[in-house]
Structure 1
Amino acid sequence: MPGNIQFLTGQLRTPPMPTDDLTGRTILVTGANSGLGLDAAKLLIKLNCSTIVIACRDVSKGKATEDLLRAFSSQNGKKSTIIPFELEMTSFASVVSFTTRCKDLPRLDAVILNAGIAEVEFKLAEGYEKTITVNVISTFLLATLLLPILRASARKYSITPNIAIVGSAVHFWTDPKQLTKPASGQILKAVSDRQSADMKGRYFLSKLPVMLLVKYLGSVLEKSAQQDSSGKPLVVLNNVAPGFCVSSKSPPQINRN
């Protein structure tokens, strides 16, 4: 019950619109061609973000999104530099290749890991159920590989980079047996079993390990990250739950973040 109440009351709250001046910053957004990712990119332009790296599943979507975003202007009247990178989250090789390209960026101030899917049919990707591969495994593989790049920017520019991983309050609706019943160390294998997979609740299930892994990764960063001269951590990690929203106009779809 507390989880349901928290979820419902959360839908009635509208957070204040950011007003930060992002001049000079480089920010990466995954899943940037539609929905939350696209709106995040538009907002970054409005806030004067100098360079926005948009990660899309293929080159054509990246180019189309780049063209769309060029029509938007920042508050300071300057055009943001839009850099489209290809990123296929169902492929571990694509994730690794993508982060290799990110090493060539002059700086990286923040990443918004928004890319996610909600599958209703059982499919495998990299040997795991596709929703788990994209929403959980590839997301944290990406976060882990981007950490050294963010830390390098932190040292060079005396900044505190951020990793924002999109989660969801619907993780409350996960059947805990799906994560506690498997033998120790076999959770990902168990939830990728075609015969027992509950695809109706799979999106909810995928968001629970996201929250748990954010907490774990945060504890690891807190213990292992070097400190800059001001005593701030080199990278700040957070987990955001945007709430119900319409993520496209044609056809209408609900993004359950």
Structure 2
Amino acid sequence: MPTVGDITQFLGGQIFGRTTLPDVDLSGKTMIVTGANTGLGLEAAKHLAKLNASKLILACRSIERGDKAASVIYDETNCKNQTEIQVWELDLADYQSTFSFAKRVVEELPRLDGFLANAGVEVEQFELAGDLELTLKVNVISTFFLALGVLPKLQETSEKYEADTTMTIVGSLIHNFAPDNQLDIRKEKDIFLELSRPEIADMAQRYPLSKLMSHQCARQLAKHVSATAKPGSTHVTINWANPGWCATSLVRSKKKSLPELALMPLIGWTAEYGSRTLVYALTAGKETHGCYLSESQVKQESSYVRSSKGQEIAQRLWNDLITRLREVRPER
């Protein structure tokens, strides 16, 4: 649970923090945004178009909704002359869709300069997707399966063009408030499977917990990239970013507590404002590798994530994730 310092940082950032957009030109670059048809993803995609990204891929569950989002971006940014927008289907609740998307990225794209892993779900009722609870599968397992799947294209682009490439995982300040005690699962057990048991699934706390787990896995992914990089070569920057507490469709669709109802109008941000930090992180460069960004700057994560126990659990989560990847990934 959060310390006083965690709560102070959250409130200070939300009330006094400021987000900024990067002053960069993305001409010639290819960017992917998942969950790009609404909310933070759509607003981030608009900003990338305004920054002259040459190719912008909107990854969405629905091609129809993705096409509508593309039309909105073209209309609002007047970017048709410099940005080609493509809509690719992606459903993170479906392993086949996840792996097919990654395969398409590797095989079809000449280059990939930035990947914004924004797609996620927040549900109130327990629901299985295969053998995993839906929130865990989408927000953690498949998010990192996809991250590992597109990583080779980011690395190839970095080496071939001597360019900075970045993967940004969308985190959340709410990881500070996650019930970390729910991760205290016996070492011989698979954490994801245990948390997918309906009799112990605390759905009221599931979204914050999934974001905590995402932060922990992002740390492990950054370590993996650093450990496997060729000596002397440039490598992909992995960072994760908090867009702030924003009034998005994801937030609006859930039942709110009285404090949430009272505070959102006072200190909540718009999706556009929150998306600026995501775009900032995606273009911030190698100095942010392995870092958490909030309010368009590097910040500390929760005390739990930084603790020895939190790091031990992070390694277990990563091991369980990689074991599952080996079991379900299609033969190459």
Q: Secondary structure at the match of 1:116?
A: coil
Flag structure 2 segments of 5+ consecutive residues without an equivalent: 255-270, 276-332
Question: Once the 2 structures are TM-superposed, how far is the Cα of residue 176 of structure 1 from its aligned partner?
Answer: 2.0
Structure 1 runs of 4+ off > 2 angstroms? 72-75, 181-185, 251-257
Give the structure-1-normalised TM-score.
Answer: 0.91
Structure 2 distance, partners of 1:22, 1:108, is 12
* Equivalent AA in structure 2 for residue 100 of structure 1: K
Structure 2 distance, partners of 1:196, 1:248, is 27
Flag structure 1 segments of 5+ consecutive residues without an equivalent: none
- Whether 2:136 is the aligned partner of 1:132: answer yes
Aligned to 1:95: 98
- Whether 2:9 is the aligned partner of 1:9: answer no
Alignment match of 2:176 (pick from 172, 178, 185)? 172
Aligned to 1:196: 200
Question: Once the 2 structures are TM-superposed, how far is the Cα of residue 175 of structure 1 from its aligned partner?
Answer: 1.7
Aligned to 2:245: 244
Matches within 5 A, 1:14-163: 14-73=18-77, 78-103=81-106, 104-163=108-167
Query: Are 1:25 and 1:49, in contact at CA under 8 Å, matched by a contact in 2?
Result: yes
Structure 1 distance, partners of 2:26, 2:122, is 32
Structure 2 distance, partners of 1:72, 1:184, is 53
Query: Are 2:57 and 2:86, in contact at CA under 8 Å, matched by a contact in 1?
Result: yes
Structure 1 distance, partners of 2:214, 2:225, is 16
- The structure in which a higher percent of residues are helix is 2
Structure 2 distance, partners of 1:73, 1:39, is 11
Higher RCO (CA < 8 A, seq sep 6+): 2
Aligned to 1:235: 236
Taking only aligned residues, the RMSD between alpha carbons, in angstroms, comes to: 2.2
Structure 1 distance, partners of 2:249, 2:196, is 29
Query: Are 2:159 and 2:233, in contact at CA under 8 Å, matched by a contact in 1?
Result: no
Structure 1 distance, partners of 2:130, 2:143, is 14
Structure 1 distance, partners of 2:209, 2:130, is 19
Identity across the alignment (%): 37
Query: Are 2:132 and 2:192, in contact at CA under 8 Å, matched by a contact in 1?
Result: yes
Residues 32-41 or 239-248, more deviating: 239-248
Q: Secondary structure at the match of 1:112?
A: strand
Structure 1 distance, partners of 2:146, 2:238, is 13
Question: Once the 2 structures are TM-superposed, how far is the Cα of residue 232 of structure 1 from its aligned partner?
Answer: 5.7
Query: Are 1:74 and 1:80, in contact at CA under 8 Å, matched by a contact in 2?
Result: no
Residues 62-71 or 28-37, more deviating: 62-71
* Equivalent AA in structure 2 for residue 124 of structure 1: L
Structure 2 distance, partners of 1:29, 1:223, is 26
